[in-house]
Structure 1
Amino acid sequence: MTSLGTASAAPGEMDTGRLTVGETRDGTTVGLPVAVINGVDDGETLYIQAASDGDELNGVGVVARVVPQLDPAELSGTVLVVGIANYFGFQVAEHRNPIDDTKLNRAYPGDARGSSSERIAHATFEAATRADYVLDLHQGSTSRMINEVRVRCGRHHRLHRKCLELAKVFDCGYILDQKGPEGQLARAAPDEGVPTIDPELGGAVGWDEESIEYGVRGVFNVLTHYGFLDGETEARPQTRAHAFDRYGAPSGGVVDYRVDLGEEVARGDTLFRVTDVFGQVKAEVSADNDGVFWRSRRLPQVASGEYVCSVGTTIDQY
């Protein structure tokens, strides 16, 4: 029997339930929605988590499509799922946990007696570190961005190559290979010996079908490659970035992009112009280095100095 919170499944069974992480202000128990899919045959364990940031919904879309397709009779090993990690942020469609104004993905490995976010991080970290592989599903929140997978443990970490392999198998086409901030699940779990990646499934407000499909394919790529399901996968070369140039607006106005997401740029290429409301060009910004146009703001209006876009640099193929 394998359990996660109140969900328990014997080999060949699937169950859903709740993982208790605290109480609301009126004393009601807060439980995260969880699922256990226990394969009929022995094997490894995969942990999947979505909505660590409460307004990043594409991962929830992935879970909603993947779980109904998992037949325990065809599965070797176990899949553990936390469908919504940031309970309070999800309820109000906010990035941070409004109870303690904290970004959950900066609270790992958590604290069972700590703040609201630390308690959620503790409970989900305990579940994640029972697994052999971890997928922490994210998206670019309100930014426009390519579908990418982030490897956050750092290039000198003992699990770096295994995390890179997991990212390549997930196969979004792009990998961000850069050590993450303290408190990220994708940085903390490798310290416990668990290869972990952070797929950033595009950038949108709400539901983005194309990015959700990237995530669904990625999960099934992982399940097949690592022997949870029968079949074969062929990991394609990925475009990998190790660093980023960020660009702000030199003046206020409306942004007019001159390149598209995923497009290769050369040093000196025009990235965007800033115009006034009548279309008159006020400023033009060019790339400082060769790279890939990786991320940009969603709304076109900007104030002087406000973030506009990022170019992935130090590019190679992995």
Structure 2
Amino acid sequence: MITLGTASAAPGEMDIGRLEVGESRDGGTVGLPVAVINGASPGKTLYMQAASDGDELNGVGVIQRVVPQLDPADISGTILIVGIVNYHAFQVAQHRNPIDDTKMNRAYPGDERGTSSERIAAATFDAARRADLILDLHQGSTSQMINEVRVRCGRHHRMHAKCLRLAKTFGCGYVLDQKGPDGQLARAGPDAGIPTIDPELGGCVGWDEESIQKGVQGVHNVLRGYGFVDGDVELEAQTRARGFDQYGSPVGGLVRFKRDLGERVSTGDVVFEVTDVFGSLKARVTADHDGIFWRARRLPQVASGEYVCSVGIDLDTY
């Protein structure tokens, strides 16, 4: 019998339940939605979670679509799922946990006696540490962004090669291979010896079907590639960026992008222009290095110095 919170499943079974992570302001129990899929045959354990940032919904869409497609009778190993991590933020469609004004993906490995976010992080990381592989499903929050997978442990980490292999198996087509901030699950997992990736499934607030389907395919790739289900994965070449050039606006006004997401950019190319409200050109910003147009703000209005876009640089194919 495999248990996660109140969900328990014998071999060949699936169950859903709740993982208690504290109490709300009215004294009621706060429980995260969880699922256990216990395969009929022994094998590895995969941990998967979504919505650690409460307005990043595409990962929830991936889980909503993947779980009904899985038959425990056809699975070797175990899949542990937390469908919504940042419970309080999800309820109010916010990025940060409103109880403690914390970005959840900076709270790992957590503290079971700490703040609301630290307690949630501790409870979910306790589940994640039971796994052989970790998928932490994200999206680009309010920005527009290509579908990518992030390897956040750093290139000198002992788990880097295994994280990179997991990213390639997931197979979004683009990988950001750059050490992430402290407190990310994609940092804490490798530190505990578990290959972990952070798929960023598109951007903007909402529910994007194309990015969700990319994530669904990525999860199935991992299930096949690591022996949870039958089938082979053809590992396609991925474009890897090792960093970003980030661009702010030199003036205030309205942004007009001159490149599309995923488009190649050469040094000196015009990346965006800024006009006044009457369409008169105020500034033109060019690329500092060759790269890929990776991420862009959603709304056109900017103040001087405000973030506009990012270009992925230091590229290779692996």
Q: TM-score range by the shorter chain?
A: over 0.9
CA displacement at 1:205 relative to structure 2: 1.3
Instruction: Letter of the 1:3 partner, please give it.
Output: T
Instruction: Letter of the 1:54 partner, please give it.
Output: G
Instruction: Letter of the 1:230 partner, please give it.
Output: D
Whole-Å Cα distance in 1 between the matches of residues 81 and 294 of structure 2?
29
Q: How many residues align?
A: 318
Aligned residue number for residue 166 of structure 2: 166
Q: Please state whether the residue corresponding to 2:89 is helix, strand or coil.
A: helix
Superposed counterparts of 1:1-318, under 5 Å = 1-318=1-318
Instruction: Letter of the 2:286 partner, please give it.
Output: S
Residues 34-72 of structure 1 deviation map (CA, whole Å, 9 limit, x = unaligned): 000000000000000000000000000000000011100
Percent of aligned pairs with the same amino acid:
75
CA displacement at 1:274 relative to structure 2: 0.2
Residues 97-119 of structure 1 deviation map (CA, whole Å, 9 limit, x = unaligned): 00000001000000000000000
Whole-Å Cα distance in 1 between the matches of residues 307 and 68 of structure 2?
40
Instruction: Letter of the 2:125 partner, please give it.
Output: F
Instruction: Letter of the 2:194 partner, please give it.
Output: V
Whole-Å Cα distance in 2 between the matches of residues 77 and 243 of structure 1?
36
Whole-Å Cα distance in 2 between the matches of residues 96 and 136 of structure 1?
16
Whole-Å Cα distance in 1 between the matches of residues 69 and 4 of structure 2?
20
CA displacement at 1:172 relative to structure 2: 0.5
Structure 2 unaligned residues grouped into runs of 5+: none
Q: Please state whether the residue corresponding to 1:199 is helix, strand or coil.
A: strand
Residues 108-141 of structure 1 deviation map (CA, whole Å, 9 limit, x = unaligned): 0000000000000000000001000000000001
Q: Please state whether the residue corresponding to 2:215 is helix, strand or coil.
A: helix
User: TM-score, normalized by length of structure 1?
Assistant: 1.00
Structure 1 unaligned residues grouped into runs of 5+: none
Whole-Å Cα distance in 2 between the matches of residues 12 and 111 of structure 1?
34
Q: Please state whether the residue corresponding to 1:288 is helix, strand or coil.
A: coil
Whole-Å Cα distance in 2 between the matches of residues 87 and 41 of structure 1?
33
Q: Please state whether the residue corresponding to 1:232 is helix, strand or coil.
A: coil
Whole-Å Cα distance in 2 between the matches of residues 144 and 132 of structure 1?
32
Alignment RMSD (CA, Å): 0.4
CA displacement at 1:278 relative to structure 2: 1.1
Whole-Å Cα distance in 2 between the matches of residues 265 and 25 of structure 1?
50
